[in-house]
């Protein structure tokens, strides 16, 4: 009996935490990674903890000061939300890039982060907009910035009994916007060779007062590149500033060579994508951003 | 231990017994005898097992059967009205958009979901929406023509 696989659908975080304390318990959100890993033998869940009946993990709530993005909300529900797409166009374009229509119907941003692929598209985009992970666990709730959540390929900071409940993302100020770009060798349905998320805040004169630049697929975890952001601050996206930001991104990248691209190629593409994503973020912010 | 699940399939109340790790696809085919939904890759890449799950297009191979409890599922078997084929099905026949046929139920379920959301999709929108449905006979062009022609007909326009 003890060896039997179980399926549980708790309706509260407290019950989910209890179940996740059991040996072999795995969170089931959209299932688009877990069930594939199970079929290939890479994951052997003993208890499926379906977190799609919990209010916190399934809520998408745009408040006056911040967005609550439940960890298990399917991508399609976010992409369909016009106001979220207007406020965070870069985050939403990253979410919209993941998989097919069918995958979008199930896959979640929380799952994308917890699965901890270095190439996860939503992770650099979440970093660019300073998303904060809200983790629930046996010792209460804690918050971790997205850039500190993954610890390596396939690993993250969650301990036994803990789960990612969702993300808090502060509403962008006026003239603040973001962009995400990834490079893949075809137009759709592929894994990033490099991904770049950029967010910029501008003053009334169009000068950058704050920036965040994050790279995916060029290191074991997402990279927040402070030097690239610093190159943008004070600029109006002049060619020189963009070139310096791109060079800082290339210098920060620590990629491997694999079937998707060589390390040299990835370093170069990282610079190109940061330059282009920054240009897009500036254009959006000038057009008003969230104002 | 088998789980007892009550659900709604194509508007009818259904119940079944399943193992916790069994897929919705397996239950549809093996327990409910709804074999129109096909298994291609079993990893969510090919779309042959597409169904509508609580209003969203999903791969039934990536849904656990117990998740169906209390949900509404629509499969290819619910697309026609009795013996009257759905306009998409008629257009697939008219355009010969089914070379071997294995991918066809998935394409029709996915295309129906598209046309319900967007009655006037562009060719590009249609191709992106159906990017998760693979046809290994590579009959894509006829499939896209059939879907766009159905959209035209459903909007009451003439070609």
Task: List, for residues A161-198, the tens digit of each pLDDT value.
Answer: 999 999 999 999 999 999 999 999 888 788 999 999 99
- The answer to whether residues A146 and A123 touch, using CB atoms and an 8 Å cutoff, is yes
Q: Please report the pLDDT score of residue B158 as a whole number.
A: 62
Q: What is the CATH number of domain B87-154?
A: 1.10.150.120
pLDDT band at B159 (very low <50, low <70, confident <90, very high): low
Beta bridge pairs of residue B58: B51
Q: Give the Å distances, CA to CA, from A82 to A73, A125, A148.
A: 16, 18, 29
* pLDDT of A290 higher than 90: no
End-to-end distance of chain A based on CA atoms, in angstroms?
Answer: 58
How far is B61 from chain A, CA to nearest CA, in Å? 9
d(CA A208, CA A235): 6
d(CA A163, CA A157): 10
Q: Please report the pLDDT score of residue B157 as a whole number.
A: 77
- The answer to whether residues B25 and B53 touch, using CB atoms and an 8 Å cutoff, is no
pLDDT band at B10 (very low <50, low <70, confident <90, very high): very high
Kindly report, as residue ranges, where domains of CATH 3.10.20.30 are found in chain B. 3-78
Residue A100 to residue B131, Cβ atoms within 8 A: yes
Task: List, for residues A231-272, the tens digit of each pLDDT value.
Answer: 999 999 999 999 999 999 999 999 999 999 999 999 999 999
Domain B3-78: CATH architecture, name and number where available:
Roll (3.10)
Average pLDDT of chain A, as a whole number: 96
Which residues 6+ apart lie within 8 Å of B115 measured at CB? B88, B121, B147, B150, B151, B154
Q: A72: which chain B residues are within 8 Å (Cβ-Cβ)? A: none
Q: Please report the pLDDT score of residue B26 as a whole number.
A: 98
Residue B64 to residue A188, Cβ atoms within 8 A: no
d(CA A78, CA A72): 11
Q: Does domain A55-170 have CATH number 3.30.465.10?
A: yes
d(CA B108, CA A149): 40
Q: Please report the pLDDT score of residue A188 as a whole number.
A: 79
d(CA A45, CA A75): 24
Q: Which residue would you say has higher pLDDT here, A3 or A120?
A: A120
Q: Which of residues 81-120 of B touch A (CB under 8 A)?
A: 110, 113-114
Which pTM value belongs to this model?
A: 0.95
**What is the widest separation between alpha-carbon atoms in chain A?**
69
Residue listed under structure tokens 């026609």: B80
- The answer to whether residues A20 and A160 touch, using CB atoms and an 8 Å cutoff, is yes
Q: CB-CB: which of A38, A74, A99 is closest to B56?
A: A74
* pLDDT of A2 higher than 60: no
Helix (H, G, I), strand (E, B) or coil at A68: strand
Q: Which of B30, B23, B9 is nearest to B109 (CA)?
A: B9
- The answer to whether residues B70 and B77 touch, using CB atoms and an 8 Å cutoff, is no
Q: Which of A231, A111, A250, A213 is nearest to A167 (CA)?
A: A111
Q: Does domain A176-286 have CATH number 3.30.390.50?
A: yes
Residue listed under structure tokens 């990248």: A253
Q: Please report the pLDDT score of residue B91 as a whole number.
A: 98
Residue A7 to residue B66, Cβ atoms within 8 A: yes
Residue A101 to residue B44, Cβ atoms within 8 A: no
Q: What value, to the nearest 5°, has the Cα angle with vertex A290 and ends A245 and A56?
A: 100
* Domain ranges across chain A: 6-50, 55-170, 176-286
Mean pLDDT of the region A64-69: 98
- The answer to whether residues A107 and A134 touch, using CB atoms and an 8 Å cutoff, is no
ipTM for the predicted complex comes to 0.96
How far is B46 from chain A, CA to nearest CA, in Å? 9
d(CA A112, CA A120): 6
Q: CB-CB: which of B23, B110, B131 is closest to A189?
A: B131
Closest chain A residue by Cα to residue B56: A105
Kindly report, as residue ranges, where domains of CATH 1.10.150.120 are found in chain B. 87-154
Q: What is the CATH number of domain A6-50?
A: 3.30.43.10
Q: Looking at the complex, does the CB of residue A9 fall below 8 Å from at least one CB of chain B?
A: yes
């Amino acid at each position: 009996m003890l060896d039997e696989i179980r399926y549980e659908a708790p309706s509260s975080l407290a019950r989910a935490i209890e179940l996740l304390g059991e040996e072999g318990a795995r969170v089931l959100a959209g299932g688009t990674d877990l069930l594939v890993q199970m079929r290939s033998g890479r994951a052997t869940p003993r208890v499926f903890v379906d977190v799609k009946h919990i209010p916190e993990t399934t809520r998408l709530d745009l408040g006056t000061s911040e967005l609550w993005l439940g960890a298990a909300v399917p991508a399609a529900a976010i992409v369909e939300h016009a106001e979220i797409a207007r406020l965070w166009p870069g985050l939403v374009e990253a979410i919209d890039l993941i998989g097919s229509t069918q995958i979008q119907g199930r896959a979640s941003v929380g799952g994308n982060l917890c699965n901890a692929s270095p190439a996860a598209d939503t992770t650099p985009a979440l970093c660019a907009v300073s998303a904060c992970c809200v983790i629930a666990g046996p010792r209460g709730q804690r918050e971790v910035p997205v850039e500190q959540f993954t610890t390596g390929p396939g690993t993250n900071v969650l301990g036994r009994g803990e789960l990612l409940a969702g993300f808090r993302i502060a509403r962008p100020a006026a003239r603040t916007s973001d962009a995400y770009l990834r490079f893949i060798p075809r137009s759709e349905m592929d894994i990033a060779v490099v991904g770049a998320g950029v967010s910029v805040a501008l003053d009334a004169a169009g000068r950058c007062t704050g920036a965040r630049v994050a790279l995916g697929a060029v290191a074991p975890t997402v990279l927040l590149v402070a030097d690239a952001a610093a190159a943008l601050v004070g600029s109006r996206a002049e060619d020189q500033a963009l070139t310096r930001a791109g060079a800082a991104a290339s210098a920060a990248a620590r990629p491997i060579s694999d079937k998707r691209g060589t390390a040299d190629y990835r370093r170069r593409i990282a610079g190109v994508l940061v330059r282009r994503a920054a240009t897009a973020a500036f254009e959006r912010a000038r057009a008003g951003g969230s104002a | 231990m088998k789980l007892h699940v009550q659900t709604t399939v194509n508007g009818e109340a259904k119940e079944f017994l399943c193992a916790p790790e069994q897929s919705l696809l397996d239950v549809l085919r093996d327990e409910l005898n709804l074999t129109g939904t096909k298994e291609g890759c079993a990893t969510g890449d090919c779309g042959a097992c597409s169904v509508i799950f609580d209003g969203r297009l999903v791969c039934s191979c990536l849904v656990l059967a117990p998740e169906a409890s209390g949900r509404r599922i629509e499969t290819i078997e619910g697309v026609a009205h009795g013996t009257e084929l759905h306009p998409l099905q008629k257009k697939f026949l008219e355009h010969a958009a089914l070379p071997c046929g294995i991918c066809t139920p998935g394409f029709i379920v996915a295309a129906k979901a598209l046309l319900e959301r967007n009655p006037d999709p562009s060719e590009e929108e249609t191709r992106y929406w159906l990017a998760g449905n693979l046809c290994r006979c590579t009959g894509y062009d006829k499939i896209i023509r059939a879907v766009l022609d159905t959209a035209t007909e459903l909007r009451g326009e003439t070609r």
